[in-house]
Structure 1
Amino acid sequence: DALLPSNAAEAGEGYVYIVRHGEKSHWWACLNTTGMARAAAFPSIFDGNPRPSGERFYTPRALVAYFYGDDYHDGHKDCERCVETLMPISQTLGLPIQQVAKTTAHMANDA
């Protein structure tokens, strides 16, 4: 239930878009300039309007991001890149980003 749109009556048929976090400089780094630009483009991509090619990406009703939960790696602050990637569309749509955490054991089982 936690991953449903805020209004359960809105749940039903729809689309699930899975995107990887934007580009980064190093494995532990925050989004780089390219990653931030990609994230900034999400509100205009997922606006429900058809593209010249005819494809359409509908406006999300819920946003979910993986939660790393690591504070530091090798003395460097670890960023929540998945959250950083969704932040522009979250702010544009006024939707909260729901974070989901997994343990290392779960991640290995999902691989």
Structure 2
Amino acid sequence: MNPTSINSIEPLTGSNFKKWKRDLEIALGLLDHDIALREEKPVLTDESTAEQRLKLERWEKANRICLLIMKKSMTEAIYGGIPDSENAKEYLKAMAEKFKESIRLKLEIDE
């Protein structure tokens, strides 16, 4: 893993969500861990093939790394205000909703 990609992500403070998200997606893509943000978690059955099991393992590893990088790249105040999740895609959606709501409230106050 290239720490330079991770270190290039400016910490999320709230007002920089769009840039943070773009930088996060680029870094995770360069590290080949963005599968957890692009695809749903594979579901295995008793009939699942070795290839399908390997895909699940790859997704789970990418999901773990995505969550670690997301949490590392935000301030404590932001981290404490986001409901925790075991799914990186859902965690990112919750963050997007929180910041969309914050932007709406700020616009209403400014009007």
TM-score normalised by the shorter chain: which range applies?
under 0.3
Name the structure with the higher helix share. 2
TM-score when scaled to structure 2? 0.25
Name the structure with the higher strand share. 1
TM-score when scaled to structure 1? 0.25
